[in-house]
Amino acid sequence: MKSLSWLIGLLIVIGAIPMITHDVTLRETVFIILMYIALAESLNIILGYTGYVSFGHIVFYGIGGYVAFLMIQNYGLNIIPAMILAGLFSALVAYCLGLAILRLRGAYFAIATIGVNEAVKALITNLEQVGGAEGIYFNIKVYSAYGGAEHAIWLSYYLMLAVTIAVVIVSWFVKKSKFGLGLMAIREDEDAAITLGVNTSKYKTLAYALSALFPGMIGAIFFFKNGNIEPESAFHLTKSIEMIFMVMLGGFGTVTGPMIGAIVYERIRGFLIVSEMFKALHIAISGIILLLIVLFMPRGIIGFVRDKIPALRRFVE
Amino acid sequence: MRKILVALAVLILLSSISVATAKDEIVIGFTMSQTGKFNSESKEQFQGLKLWADQVNAKGGIYVKSLGKNLTVKLVYYDDESSKDRVQQLYTKLITEDKADFLISPYSSGLTASAAIVASQYGKIMIATGAASDSIFNKGYNCIYQIYTPASRYLTGAIDMLKAVDPNAKKIAIVYEDSKFAKDVCKAAKDYAEQNGFEVVLFESYAPGTTDFTSLINKIIAKSPDAIIGGGHFADGETFAKQLYEKRVKVKLISLLVAPAVPEFAKIGKAALYVTGPSQWEPMVRYSPEMAKKLGIEWFGPTVEEFVEAYKKAYGYEPGYHAAGGYVAGLVLQKAIEDAGTLDTEAVKKALEKMDIMTFFGRISFDTGEYYGRQKGHEMVYLQWQEKKGELVKVVVWPESAKSADLIYPLTLKFGKETTETPAEAPAKEEKGPGFEAILAIAGLAGIAYITRRFKP
């Protein structure tokens, strides 16, 4: 429990600073950090625990975004039920998809997930009812139901914080549960897991659905705050790769790892992009820093800490 | 110790007050796409804007009446990576930390929409350049002002042009790429054509990436229209023009989106001859102070020649419409501040609403109705590829007020005495190299293989 409580404590502290100081620039930065943490943690369930590389995981973020956006735009739904519906819908899509593509292993699965992402993107681009290639734009009046754009943005921030805390708790309990143990057995050797009586196809599909639930909710919040959605930004493959990178950077298969990976990744990119000295070269410099971390800590930051300082193992899960 | 602390506190307080009151520069904030897919367009736009800022500062700045002095302009900008992720974060920072007085939009309509929410939340004026979408402007924003001609008026000028040059032309074929932008443009053009008494004999789309237009061209021939308008992007527009020529399709006017405005269009040789297309602006347009006088509106800023000359001097090549759009965004802001005589947002907004000026970019005035802030004065210019001394050159042929040469009409002039029969040879297939996609795919596969191997020790 200790390893969970300090993680939640840390999240609450990070999340509370902008609320106390009312510093909106900081709020925007923390919003992105929280979003990255939540995305990386949910990807970790299928990538880190189960060992299936979902390369096109961003598809669930996009689907969630679209579902919530259409609900709000067409039926005037409040963001909170819209967000929950979006998450559930993403999970449902993942469940159905998983039944089919989780039969594939290794690189074949990874490629199939990229295919799914591109296919959904192409579908949305060609569907006029959901805005096609240009996407959909909110009327600014949508926000008046929440007391204006400013309150709506603050609300998005609170929701993002809540979702992030929920993801971390779920991720921790999955790891500690029998379910998580089954997933890790699949990761180590799927055939052996079957022999030992693990219902692998059920476990894998559930893990996939669970790891799609939260990206759907995050997509809903992000695009609600953003005010418009278009296929190019909803199904952006680069963001998918960034998610994998954050998990790898922090240490896959751990609870703390994706969180630390997301914070480090965002801070390096976010700092360089606005710094007077580096902003012209920010991608090159952040590339070098990240490369160095990966080269010298192949098991990620948390893997490195756990290897070097055994005393910390009890607290760092 | 205590005294020192108190002194220090007082000092900090004093310095912060003096910083707050001394306003000697106008901060203009924006993000540009230094990296990512909008990189080249956004860079041009930035260079235009920077040229404006440099010229204003060289003259001592913008005169602000309420302060009784000139204020210099300071541009504060960050890289948005052509992606939505950071646009709102960076615009919030520009407004709250960098204390931007005015904003310029990022490049492209999608990024502009994200920034617009933050801008309107803080009530900051944002000049939108590099965004041609109509859909941002009926969403209730009241502080976003568009520089470009919106998509709904992209091809309507072609119809005006046809009407003016040939009152007997009655039949139009509209053929467009199946993308949101081309579709919006062509739907608006169709409505406009029908209102103007034309008969739209063909209204059909083709899939993005089409390389063989044979069946479509046969349909066009069967309907024998006077003009073909439409297109989509560069590659399909170029191929379409080429195949129309190979089939010797006898229409009097061809007007296509995007492709004719790109210099590479000349590579298809005679197929490009006399083809027309719309553009936001071209370096050879002929807007002039005399013309503004004729229209009874004010001329503001440099002449076309002065702008092109200054841009060439600064960057070594001719500006395109992205660069011009960047410069004009600054110019419009300057004019509004000078008219308002203050930096107060409400007063500057009133000045923008009232604005009706002529610049080297064309006429600028803004919609104040349902589509608040949408560009209303600016017109697309139409260019045509003509032959000069054996070489293909672009000239501006429409509108009357901007043209640098006369429209050569009908297009069939280029066939000379050739017969209408289709040539026997099949259209040459273009060899396509594996290119960038293949390299990316291989790198991606290698990456996946590496990651999957790590799970199996």
* CATH number of the domain where residue A267 is located: 1.10.3470
**How do residues B160-191 score in pLDDT, each as one tens digit?**
999 998 888 899 999 998 776 788 889 899 99
Residues 6+ apart with CB under 8 A from A100: none
Q: Which of A110, A134, A140 has its CB closest to that of B135?
A: A134
Task: Specify burial of residue A37 (Cβ count, 10 A radius: 0-12, 13-18, 19+).
Answer: buried
Residue of A nearest to B114 (CA): A226
Whether A233 and B449 lie within 8 Å, measured CB to CB = no
Residue of B nearest to A55 (CA): B448
Mean pLDDT for A93-109 is: 92
> In the predicted model, is pLDDT for residue B307 greater than 90?
yes
Instruction: Classify the C-alpha dihedral B400-B402-B404-B408 as positive or negative.
Output: negative
Neighbours of A314 (CB within 10 A): 9
Give the whole-angstrom CA distance, residue B233 versus residue B179.
9
Cα separations in angstroms, A231 against A61, A89, A156, A228, B136: 11, 18, 21, 10, 17
Cβ contact B216:B142 at 8 Å: no
Mean pLDDT for A168-191 is: 94
Neighbours of B433 (CB within 10 A): 6
Which tokens sit at A133?
């290639």
Residues linked to residue B70 through DSSP beta bridges, in sequence order:
B63
Give the count of alpha carbons within 13 A of A156, CB side only: 26
Mean pLDDT for A231-236 is: 89
Mean pLDDT for A160-179 is: 95
Q: Which candidate, A65, A18, A13, A16, places its Cα nearest to that of A39?
A: A65
Mean pLDDT for A288-314 is: 86
Between residues B102 and B22, the one the model is more confident about: B102
**How do residues B377-386 score in pLDDT, each as one tens digit?**
998 999 999 9
Q: Which of B85, B180, B455 has its CB closest to that of A187?
A: B455
Mean pLDDT for B122-135 is: 89
ipTM: 0.81
Whether A32 and B117 lie within 8 Å, measured CB to CB = no
Q: Which of A32, A149, A228 has its CB closest to that of B120?
A: A149
Give the whole-angstrom CA distance, residue B57 versus residue B49.
12
Q: What is the pLDDT of residue A220?
A: 96
Least confident range from A16-20, A131-135, A260-264: namely A131-135
Q: What is the pLDDT of residue A275?
A: 82
Cα separations in angstroms, A143 against A218, A276, B147, B202, B323: 18, 35, 27, 43, 35
Confidence tier at B449 by pLDDT (50, 70, 90): confident
> In the predicted model, is pLDDT for residue B405 greater than 50?
yes
Neighbour-count burial for B435-448, b at 16+ CB within 10 Å, e otherwise: eeeeeeeeebeebb
Whether A149 and B121 lie within 8 Å, measured CB to CB = yes
Which tokens sit at A256?
């703390």
Confidence tier at B456 by pLDDT (50, 70, 90): low
Q: What is the pLDDT of residue B4?
A: 59
Q: What is the pLDDT of residue B13?
A: 46
Confidence tier at B448 by pLDDT (50, 70, 90): confident
Q: What is the pLDDT of residue B401?
A: 79
Domains in chain A: how many in total? 1
- In chain B, the percentage of residues whose pLDDT exceeds 70 is 90
**How do residues B254-293 score in pLDDT, each as one tens digit?**
999 888 888 888 888 889 999 999 999 999 888 889 888 9
Q: What is the pLDDT of residue B435?
A: 64
Least confident range from A85-89, B154-158, B308-312, B351-355: namely B154-158
**Tokens 């989780």 correspond to what residue?**
A102
> In the predicted model, is pLDDT for residue A80 greater than 90?
yes
Cβ contact B228:B277 at 8 Å: no
Whether B88 and A226 lie within 8 Å, measured CB to CB = yes
Q: What is the pLDDT of residue B418?
A: 52
Mean pLDDT for B19-40 is: 80
Give the whole-angstrom CA distance, residue B167 versus residue B409.
12
Give the whole-angstrom CA distance, residue A139 versus residue B201.
36
Mean pLDDT for A36-40 is: 96
Q: Which of A25, A53, A282 has its CB closest to that of B97?
A: A25
Task: Specify burial of residue B426 (Cβ count, 10 A radius: 0-12, 13-18, 19+).
Answer: exposed
> In the predicted model, is pLDDT for residue B20 greater than 50?
no
Q: What is the CA radius of gyration of chain A?
A: 19
Q: What is the pLDDT of residue B390?
A: 83
Mean pLDDT for B81-96 is: 89
Neighbours of B249 (CB within 10 A): 22
The helix or strand, by DSSP H or E, that contains position B76, with its residue range, turns out to be strand B69-79
Between residues A169 and B414, the one the model is more confident about: A169
Mean pLDDT for B343-372 is: 93
Q: Which candidate, A226, A275, A25, A154, places its Cα nearest to that of B95?
A: A25
Which chain A residues have a beta carbon less than 8 Å from that of B179?
133
Whether B451 and A239 lie within 8 Å, measured CB to CB = no
SS3 B382: strand
Mean pLDDT for B107-119 is: 88
Give the whole-angstrom CA distance, residue A20 versus residue B132.
40
Mean pLDDT for A80-91 is: 96
- CA angle, A83 as apex, A78 and A88 as ends, to 5°? 135
Which tokens sit at A155?
């609300």
Which chain B residues have a beta carbon less than 8 Å from that of A253?
none
SS3 B258: coil
Q: How many residues does chain A have?
A: 317
Q: What is the pLDDT of residue B332?
A: 95
Whether A141 and B140 lie within 8 Å, measured CB to CB = yes
Least confident range from B4-8, B11-15, B269-273, B398-402: namely B11-15
> In the predicted model, is pLDDT for residue B15 greater than 60?
no
Q: Which of B81, B88, B445 has its CB closest to that of A28?
A: B88
Q: Which of B92, B140, B181 has its CB closest to that of A139?
A: B140
Q: Which candidate, B33, B46, B41, B81, places its Cα nearest to that of B262?
A: B41
**Tokens 């709904």 correspond to what residue?**
B152
Give the whole-angstrom CA distance, residue A75 versus residue A82.
10
Residues 6+ apart with CB under 8 A from B247: B214, B217, B221, B422
Mean pLDDT for B317-340 is: 93
The packing angle between helices A282-296 and A237-250, to 10°, is: 40
Q: What is the pLDDT of residue B417?
A: 54
Q: Which candidate, B170, B89, B140, places its Cα nearest to that of A137?
A: B140
Q: How many residues does chain B have?
A: 457
Whether A32 and B85 lie within 8 Å, measured CB to CB = yes
SS3 B386: strand
Domains, chain B, in order of start with CATH, read 20-149+286-365 (3.40.50.2300), 153-279+380-415 (3.40.50.2300)
Q: What is the CA radius of gyration of chain B?
A: 26
Q: Which candidate, A239, A267, A257, A241, places its Cα nearest to that of A299?
A: A257
Confidence tier at A279 by pLDDT (50, 70, 90): confident
User: Edge-to-edge strand order for the sheet containing B362-365?
Assistant: B298-299, B356-359, B362-365
> In the predicted model, is pLDDT for residue B8 greater than 70?
no
Cβ contact B379:B386 at 8 Å: no
**How do residues A108-125 score in pLDDT, each as one tens digit?**
999 999 999 999 998 998
Q: What is the pTM of this model?
A: 0.80
Q: Which residues of B touch A (CB under 8 A)?
A: 34-35, 78-79, 81, 83-86, 88-90, 92-93, 96-97, 109-110, 113-114, 116-117, 120-121, 133, 135-136, 138-141, 178-181, 183-184, 444-445, 448-449, 451-452, 455
Cβ contact B374:B150 at 8 Å: yes
Q: What is the pLDDT of residue A138?
A: 87
Mean pLDDT for A283-289 is: 83
Nearest-CA distance A146 → chain B (Å)? 13
DSSP 8-state class, residue B310: H
Taking all residues of chain B, what is their mean pLDDT, rounded to a whole number? 86
Q: What is the pLDDT of residue B430?
A: 47
Could you tell me the residue range of the domain that residue A227 belongs to?
A: 2-314
Least confident range from A275-279, B290-294, B316-320: namely A275-279
Mean pLDDT for A195-212 is: 94
Q: What is the pLDDT of residue A123?
A: 92
Confidence tier at B429 by pLDDT (50, 70, 90): very low
